[in-house]
Amino acid sequence: MGYRIFLAGGSGAIGRRLIPQLLAAGHQVTATTRQAAKTEDLRALGADPAGVDVFDASALRAAVVAAKPEIVIHQLTDLPPGLDPSKMAEASVRNARIRDEGTRNLVDAAKAAGAKRLIAQSIAWVYAPGSEPHAETDPLDSGAEGGRAVSVAGVIALERRVLGASPITGILLRNGHLYGPGTGAETAADPAVHVDAAAYAALLAVERDAQGAFNVAEPNGYITTEKAVSELGWRAGFRLAG
């Protein structure tokens, strides 16, 4: 039996690779985009599109309540195509706002809709300096400085809101650097993860009785992914067919 799922960020790199996996598994998907031009793209993928901005709290609440989801998935980001270095400083500020204010609005909307679980995209390269490889229980780099401090603060805010969303169960997927279709990158620095495998982790989080944080990346020396493999059944080599 499938779940009713509200996917915030359905037109993003992971969202576009996640929708086919969710539908193939029998789930019903309402997916968001801020851009009207992408509404038909979402419909073509098989999702019910919802044009809404995460910063419009009342509109977001109305959209989530109307979808009546049992599970909400947070895949929202605001990053430039190909992670253009000349635009990353400005984008990091916008992305941090999504992780903080946007996540707060999404949590509130999920509660109003009576959702049971919230699965959120986080990142895997924000651990505080220390012994490697890092496990999920290691502290995040709250003492970061400069541009890194902006990103880390956004991640910490997101994770606190998701894990503190009781009575909703929170799941965090700390993804490595993405590469593959829609990311603008054919390879990525460690810790890296193919976008299909990152989306697969979200599917597994929907279907497994899991909670807490999971590192999601290909084998590397910076983080360990044993928890995702053992508790979610995740495989770094997963790829969509075709």
Q: Using the 8-state DSSP alphabet, how is residue 228 labeled?
A: I
pLDDT of 132-159, one tens digit each? 999 999 999 999 998 899 999 999 999 9
Average pLDDT, integer, range 176-205: 96
Q: What is the rounded average pLDDT of the residues 63-88?
A: 80
DSSP secondary structure string for all residues of 138-175: SPB-TT--HHHHHHHHHHHHHHHHHHT-TTSEEEEEEE
Judged against a pLDDT cut of 60, whether residue 57 lies above it is answered with yes
Give the pLDDT confidence score for residue 87 in this predicted structure. Answer: 56
136-160-64 Cα angle (round to 5): 115
pLDDT of residue 142: 97
Output the pLDDT for position 37: 85
Instruction: For each of the domains in the chain, give its residue range(s) and CATH number, in order of start.
Output: 4-232 (3.40.50.720)
- Label residue 85 by pLDDT band (50, 70, 90): low
**Signed CA dihedral, 108, 110, 114, 119: sign only:** negative
pLDDT in tens, 72-81: 999 998 765 5
Does residue 225 have a pLDDT over 80?
yes
Q: How many CB atoms lie within 10 A of CB 221?
A: 10
Q: Give whole-number Cα distances, 42 to 128, 222, 239, in Å.
A: 38, 35, 20
